[in-house]
């Protein structure tokens, strides 16, 4: 191979090729720094002397399916200007790396189309080296991200693995990007996020969040003053679904055999939206029979359906009047579960009503959670939570058919 072709193909412009050797199917290019490119790494002076040399083998872009190693012969430079004794720069590779920059770029390009294990087998290297290259790139990209334009965000958690291991995610609702991740789901998980957000100069306006006390505490302690908190439809209705399910279980345990028979197996029927049951006459007939058999469940079911109308009131004033009436009816039932949800709604009333000022939800996060599940499944799980979190920051770019760890 000619020196000119080597330089143009591998980007080696500041080194001279001394020799080429071959061993067990591997090609070795032995390189030494050109005299005109020797400079002190401290002051940049060309007035340098040479001391002892060491060799550094660096993995480079393969030729076909044959591995290539660049063997750099690097001298210690004695600077006549500043007096420092430092080894000359590598140029084609970052410090303390065992591969060239061109090889690292090849791995990153393959990572968009292949799993880490496939890349390792194709390039005949360890999978941990592939992971290290991708992880370093993700760190650099994450540090360069700007949060200046962030105005509306959503916060939610998801399970990393079994055993109550959770991770908190923050998403920019305007761009759809994952901004931040942290292990855990208590208020301390969001402290670093709000600190960085403040330094970025972002003008945060609203936060969509569930009704978790931990996240509400984080917003109260760390969020910028004046930011609006929004509890979206999904979590409020989910709370009501939990209420109706608890009442169903209690009624089933309380009633005799005939009453139990009417209620048994009706869990999901009670959670269905009424308009969906209109398309399934058999399920609708069974639900009607269940509601006829139990007056309390009938009333709570109607309240559940009524609650869903809150988000279609047209104006904030009408919505406020609607919700206060609904809470009064829930308290009037005298049931401990309906009383609890009514009191919860009244405590969080302003955050629920804020939807009419900022109609945002954690819906995008729910969609991302589905992508996260695919990412975990394809990778057969992640042992390195930091690497997993970095992958999540760029999950909107991932190809889930092949993406892995």
Per-residue pLDDT at 403 exceeds 60: no
Report the interhelical angle of 127-144 vs 101-111 (nearest 10°). Answer: 90
Running DSSP on this structure, what letter comes out for residue 308?
Answer: G
Give the CA count within 13 Å in the CB-facing half-sphere of 112: 9
153 close to 179: Cβ distance less than 8 angstroms = yes
Per the prediction, the chain carries an average pLDDT of 87
pLDDT tier, 163 (very low <50, low <70, confident <90, very high otherwise) = low
Q: Can you tell me the mean pLDDT for 4-22?
A: 85
Handedness of CA 350, 352, 355, 360 (dihedral sign): positive
Give the CA count within 13 Å in the CB-facing half-sphere of 243: 29
Q: Can you tell me the mean pLDDT for 239-254?
A: 86
pLDDT tier, 400 (very low <50, low <70, confident <90, very high otherwise) = very low
Whole-structure pTM value: 0.78
197 close to 150: Cβ distance less than 8 angstroms = yes
228 close to 354: Cβ distance less than 8 angstroms = yes
Look at the block and give the residue holding tokens 């609650």: 307
Q: How many helices (H) and strands (E) does the chain have?
A: 17, 10
145 close to 135: Cβ distance less than 8 angstroms = no
Per-residue pLDDT at 160 exceeds 90: no
Q: Can you tell me the mean pLDDT for 379-383?
A: 59
Classify residue 157 as exposed, middle or buried by CB count within 10 Å of its CB (0-12, 13-18, 19+). buried
Kindly report, residue by residue over 387-397, the tens digit of the pLDDT.
888 888 888 77
Long-range contacts of 345-354 (CB under 8 A, 24+ apart): 345/236, 348/211, 348/231, 349/323, 350/229, 351/229, 351/230, 351/231, 352/231, 352/236, 352/310, 352/323, 353/316, 353/319, 353/320, 353/323, 354/206, 354/228, 354/229, 354/230, 354/231
C-alpha 397/C-alpha 375 separation (Å) is 12
C-alpha 22/C-alpha 325 separation (Å) is 84
Q: Can you tell me the mean pLDDT for 237-246?
A: 90
Kindly report, residue by residue over 55-68, the tens digit of the pLDDT.
999 999 999 889 99
| Lowest mean pLDDT across 73-77, 82-86, 277-281, 360-364 | 277-281
Tokens of 274: 């009424």
């Amino acid at each position: 191979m000619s020196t000119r072709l080597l330089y143009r193909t591998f980007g080696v412009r500041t080194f001279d090729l001394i020799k080429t050797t071959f061993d067990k199917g591997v090609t070795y290019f032995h390189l030494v720094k050109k005299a005109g490119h020797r400079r002190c790494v401290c002051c940049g002076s060309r007035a340098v002397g040479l001391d002892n040399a060491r060799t550094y083998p660096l993995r480079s872009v393969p030729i076909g399916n044959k591995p290539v190693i660049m063997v750099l012969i690097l001298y210690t430079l004695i600077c006549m200007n500043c007096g420092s004794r430092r080894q000359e720069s590598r140029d084609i590779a970052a410090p303390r790396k065992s591969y060239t920059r061109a090889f690292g770029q090849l791995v990153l390009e393959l990572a968009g189309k292949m799993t880490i294990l496939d890349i390792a087998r194709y390039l005949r290297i360890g999978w941990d080296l592939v992971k290290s290259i991708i992880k370093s790139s993700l760190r650099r990209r994450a540090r360069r991200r700007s949060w200046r334009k962030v105005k509306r965000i959503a916060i939610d958690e998801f399970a990393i693995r079994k055993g109550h291991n959770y991770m908190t995610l923050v998403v920019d609702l305007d761009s759809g990007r994952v901004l931040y991740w942290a292990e855990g789901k208590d208020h301390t998980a969001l402290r670093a996020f709000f600190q960085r957000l403040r330094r970025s100069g972002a003008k945060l306006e609203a936060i969509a969040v569930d009704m978790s006390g931990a996240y509400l505490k984080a917003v109260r302690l760390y969020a910028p003053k004046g930011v609006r908190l929004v509890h979206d439809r999904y979590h409020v209705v989910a709370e009501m679904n939990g209420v109706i399910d608890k009442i169903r279980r209690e009624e089933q345990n309380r009633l005799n055999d005939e009453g139990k028979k009417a209620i048994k197996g009706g869990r999901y029927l009670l959670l269905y939206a009424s308009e969906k049951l209109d398309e399934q006459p058999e399920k609708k007939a069974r639900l009607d029979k269940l509601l006829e058999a139990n007056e309390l469940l009938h009333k709570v079911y109607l309240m559940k359906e009524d609650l869903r109308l809150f988000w279609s009131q047209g104006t904030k004033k009408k919505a406020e009047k609607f919700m206060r009436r609904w809470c009064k009816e829930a308290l009037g039932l005298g049931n401990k579960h309906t009383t609890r949800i009514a009191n919860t709604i009244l405590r969080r009333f302003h955050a629920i009503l804020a939807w009419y000022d900022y109609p945002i939800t954690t819906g995008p996060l729910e969609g991302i959670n589905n992508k996260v599940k695919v990412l975990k499944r394809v990778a057969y799980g992640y042992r390195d939570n930091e690497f997993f979190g970095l992958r999540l920051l760029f999950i909107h770019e991932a190809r889930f058919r092949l993406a892995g760890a």
